[in-house]
Structure 1
C-alpha cells in the first residue's frame, strides 16, 4: 500500500479503517475529504482527546508549586515561615523556576514528535510527571529538607510546561487546514484549564488533610502529600491511554527550512516580545497569584472557607483560559488581531493601576476584581496575538513574492509553514516571560521591600507593547498589505 505524506494531496484515497487501538499510520491525508470521512476524522478526534487529557495534566503539575508554597511555612519549613523576612521571595523563586524550565523545554519538545512519534512521546512526557510528584511526596515529609532540594523538584515540575509544545505539534499533523484552528484552540484551552483546576483542588485537599490529621505541621505535610498523590492515578491513565490508544504518523516530519526562515524573520521576534506580555503575564501571574494574595492580605487566613478555596486564586487562571478563544473570535470579527491586541495592552495597563490602588487601600475585593480583569485581558490577548501570526506571515510573504516575481501559491505554502514554525518559537519565549514577571516581583520585594515598583513597570511595559503593535501592524502600509493578502491567505 502506497504511503501518503501527512501534508500531501493524493489523487487516490487508499482504504483506511478507524482503529481504537493505537498504531503507526503509514499513510495519512486529512485534507482529502473522502479519507477524512472514512475514519480520518474519528482517528484525529481520538488523538485530540487523549492529547488534551495529557496536556491538561502537564499544566496541572507545572503550576502545582504555586499552591504548595503558600502552606510550606505552616508545614514546618523555616525558610518559608511567616517570621522569615525572605519567605515571600523564596516562594516566588520556587514558583518561577518551573516556568523557566517549562519554557526552555518547549523548543526540544516541538521536535520530539516527528522524531519519536506522537504516541510514544505523549506517553513519555506524561510518565515524566511521576518524577516531580513522587519527589514532592517524599521530601515534603522530611522537615529538614533544604531549600535547594525543593528548587530542584520545582525545576522538574517544568516537564509539564514542555508538554504544551509536543502536544500542539502532534495534533497539528492530524487535522486538515480548515480544522486545525479549532483543534489547536481546544487543545490549548484544555491545557490552560489545568492551572485553574490545580489552584482549586490542591488547597481543598490540603485542608482535608489537616482535618483528617490535625492543623499542625504534620497535618499540613500530610495535606500536601494528599494533594500531590491525587494526580498520580491520572498520570498513570494518561501514560497508559497514550500508549494504547494514540497513533503516530509516519510521515509527520518537521520542516527545518521553515524554522530557519522563521528565525530570520523580524516579525517572529516582534511577536515573541508581544506574547511575553500576553501569555507571559497569564502564566507568570497564575503561578504567583496565590503567593501575592497571601503576602498582601494575610488576614484572609482568618476566613476558613476562603483559605480552603485557595483565597480564590483559581479564578484568575479560570477566566484567563475561557477568554482566550474569545480573543481569536473577536479578532476575526473586526478584521485581524492587531486592533484587539492594542486594546488588550491598554486594558492590562489600567488593570495594573487598579491593582496598585487596591494594595494601597488594602481592599481585597478591588484587588481580586482588578486581577481578574488583568487575567481576562491577558487571555483575550493570547487569542488575538495567535490570530495575528498567520496574517502577518501571509502579508509579508505576498509582498516578497510580488517584489521578486515569485509564484504566489508556493509563497502561500511557505508562509503557512513559517507561521507554524514561528508559533513554536513565540510560544517558548512567551512562556519564558512568565519567569520574568515573577522575578521582577521577587527582586522588587527583596531590594525595595515592596512589589509596587514592579507593578508600575508592568504598566509601562504594557503601554510600550501597545505602541509596538501599532507601529508594526496598524500603520497604513502594513494594514494595506495585510488587507490585500486576505484572499491569498486562503490559498
Structure 2
C-alpha cells in the first residue's frame, strides 16, 4: 500500500483551541506506553486493570439505562397506556437510534475531556432519563410523543460504549486488546440482561404495576459508579481519537466493511436485546387471546412469561463477547468472524422455520415451535457476542499492520494506529448500533403485515447473515 495515503495523526498535541481549554488537568498519566513491557510488568498493568474495572462498571449501568425501555414496555398493558405492539417497537427503537448517533461525539469526548472526567459526566447525565422514566410510568395517559422524548434521553447510555471502548483501547497493549476490549464491552453488554432481570424480579413479586422500582434501583447504581469513576479512574495525556482521525479513517474502505460486519454482530445483539421480550410477549399473548384484546390478567401473565426468558439471550451474548475477543487473540479476528456469521445464518434459519410453522398452526405455539424460536434466538445472541469480540479485534490489528508502511519513527506509527483504531471503534460502534434500529423497525413492519407475525423479518435477518459471511470470506480470508 502506498505510504501517501497514510498520514500520522498526532495524539500528543492539541488540534484546536477547544482542546487546549478542555484538556484534563487532574489525575493525568503522561507518556503512557502500553507496549513498554518492563513498565507494564512494573505497575502499568495494575493501573490499566483498575481503569478497566470502573470503565466496565460505568458502561454496564449505561447499557442498562439505554435498554430500560425494553423492560418498561412489559409494564405497559395496552388497556392502561393505550399503545399497540407497533408503538412499543418504535418506543424501543428511538433510544437505539439516539445512542447510535451519540457514539460519534462520545468517541472524541475522552480525547477532549479525559477518560475519567467523561466517565463521571456521562454517568451523572443518565440520572435525567431514569428520573423521567419513573415519572412517566407512574403517570399513564401521556401521549406517545412524550414517551418517545423521554426514551430518546435514554439513548445517552448508548453513547457511553464508544467513549469507554476508545479509552480502554489506549490503556492496553496490542497483544491484549482483544481480551481487554472484549471484557470491557461484554461487561457493559451485561447491562441489557441485568435490567431485564431487575424487571423480572419486580414483575414476579408485584406484577406489572410497579415499574418505578426498576428506575429507583438504577438511580442508586448511577450514583455508585459515578463516585467510583471519580475516585479510581485516570486520564491519559494523549488523544485516542480526534475529528481529523474520524475523517481520515472514513477514507479507508475497510472501515465501511468492518462497520457492515458490526451491524450483523452488535446490531443483532442490541436489536434483539431490545426486541426479544416484546416478541415473546406477543407470542404468548397470541396464544392466550387468539387475536382478541388481552385482559389485564393475560397481559400480566404474558409479561411475566416473557421476562422469565428474555434476559437469557442478552446474558449469553454479553459473556461470549469476552470469550470471542480472547479467541480472536489466538485464532485471528477474521477466522472467528467468518464462522460466527455461518452459525448465525443457521440460527436465523431455525427461528424462521419455527416461526413459519407457528404462523401455519392455529392457537398457541406448540412446545416444539416455541423451543425453535427461543433456542434459535439464544444461539443468535451467543454467536453475536462472539462476533462482537472478534470484529473489534480486527480493528487495531488492521491499523497496526497498515502503520508499518508509514515512514518515520515507531512512536509516530503507534500514534497513527492508536488514533485510527480509536476513531473506527466509535464509527463502527455507531453504525453497528443502527442495526438495532433496523431490527426493531423490521419487526414492527413485519407485525403490521398481513400475517401479523415476525416471520418476514426473520427471513431478512437470515439473508443478511449469509451476505456478511460471504463478505468476510472474500475480503479477509
TM bin (shorter chain)? 0.7 to 0.9
Say yes or no: does 1:25 pair with 2:28: yes
Q: Contact (CA 8 Å) 1:283, 1:434: kept in 2 or not?
A: yes
In 2, the alpha carbon distance for the partners of 1:73 and 1:436 equals 25
CA offsets per residue over residues 307-356 of structure 1, 9 Å max, x none? 2671311011011111223323333444x222332222222122122112
> Which residue of 265, 268, 277 corresponds with 1:281?
268
Q: Please, what is the CA RMSD of the aligned residues?
A: 2.8
Q: Which residue of 2 aligns with 1:373?
A: 379
Gaps of 5+ in 2: 1-9, 13-24, 289-297, 359-364
Q: Which residue of 1 aligns with 2:163?
A: 166
Say yes or no: does 1:325 pair with 2:322: yes
Shift of 1:175: 3.4
Shift of 1:460: 1.2
Provide closer, same or farther for how the CA distance between residues 314 and 146 of structure 1 changes in structure 2, counting only shifts above 3 A: same
Q: Which residue of 1 aligns with 2:284?
A: 297
Say yes or no: does 1:195 pair with 2:201: no
In 2, the alpha carbon distance for the partners of 1:338 and 1:250 equals 32
Q: Contact (CA 8 Å) 2:268, 2:384: kept in 1 or not?
A: yes
Per the normalisation by structure 2, the TM-score is 0.83
Gaps of 5+ in 1: 1-5, 9-21, 80-86, 211-219, 475-491
In 2, the alpha carbon distance for the partners of 1:7 and 1:176 equals 16
> Which residue of 421, 434, 437 corresponds with 2:423?
421
Q: Contact (CA 8 Å) 1:281, 1:433: kept in 2 or not?
A: yes
CA offsets per residue over residues 367-391 of structure 1, 9 Å max, x none? 1111111112211211222222334
Alignment of 1:325-344 (within 5 A): 325-334=322-331, 336-344=332-340
CA offsets per residue over residues 10-41 of structure 1, 9 Å max, x none? xxxxxxxxxxxx94225243434554455533
Q: Which residue of 2 aligns with 1:386?
A: 392
Q: Which residue of 2 aligns with 1:347?
A: 343
Q: Which residue of 2 aligns with 1:458?
A: 461
Say yes or no: does 1:62 pair with 2:59: no
Q: Contact (CA 8 Å) 2:241, 2:422: kept in 1 or not?
A: no
Q: Which stretch of the first structure deviates more once superposed, 433-442 or 252-261?
A: 252-261
Q: Contact (CA 8 Å) 1:105, 1:162: kept in 2 or not?
A: yes
Q: Which stretch of the first structure deviates more once superposed, 181-190 or 254-263?
A: 254-263
In 1, the alpha carbon distance for the partners of 2:49 and 2:231 equals 15
In 2, the alpha carbon distance for the partners of 1:162 and 1:259 equals 16
Provide closer, same or farther for how the CA distance between residues 7 and 263 of structure 1 changes in structure 2, counting only shifts above 3 A: closer
Number of residue pairs matched by the alignment: 433
In 1, the alpha carbon distance for the partners of 2:128 and 2:212 equals 14
SS of the equivalent of 1:144 reads coil
Shift of 1:461: 1.5
Larger Rg: 1
In 1, the alpha carbon distance for the partners of 2:244 and 2:465 equals 33
SS of the equivalent of 2:140 reads coil
Q: Contact (CA 8 Å) 1:53, 1:238: kept in 2 or not?
A: yes
Shift of 1:192: 0.6
SS of the equivalent of 1:29 reads coil
Alignment of 1:26-425 (within 5 A): 27-31=30-34, 32-33=36-37, 35-36=39-40, 39-73=43-77, 76-79=80-83, 87-210=84-207, 220-221=208-209, 223-252=210-239, 254-298=241-285, 299=287, 307=304, 310-334=307-331, 336-359=332-355, 360-361=357-358, 362=365, 363-395=369-401, 401=405, 406=407, 414-425=416-427
Task: Tell me which of the two structures has the higher relative contact order, counting C-alpha pairs closer than 8 angstroms and 6 or more residues apart.
Answer: 2
Provide closer, same or farther for how the CA distance between residues 396 and 27 of structure 1 changes in structure 2, counting only shifts above 3 A: closer
In 2, the alpha carbon distance for the partners of 1:26 and 1:285 equals 39
Q: Which stretch of the first structure deviates more once superposed, 129-138 or 233-242?
A: 233-242
In 2, the alpha carbon distance for the partners of 1:230 and 1:114 equals 31
Q: Contact (CA 8 Å) 2:28, 2:235: kept in 1 or not?
A: yes
Shift of 1:133: 1.0
In 1, the alpha carbon distance for the partners of 2:30 and 2:396 equals 27
CA offsets per residue over residues 109-155 of structure 1, 9 Å max, x none? 11111212222211111111111111011121112211111111111
Q: Contact (CA 8 Å) 1:206, 1:226: kept in 2 or not?
A: no
Q: Contact (CA 8 Å) 1:397, 1:411: kept in 2 or not?
A: yes
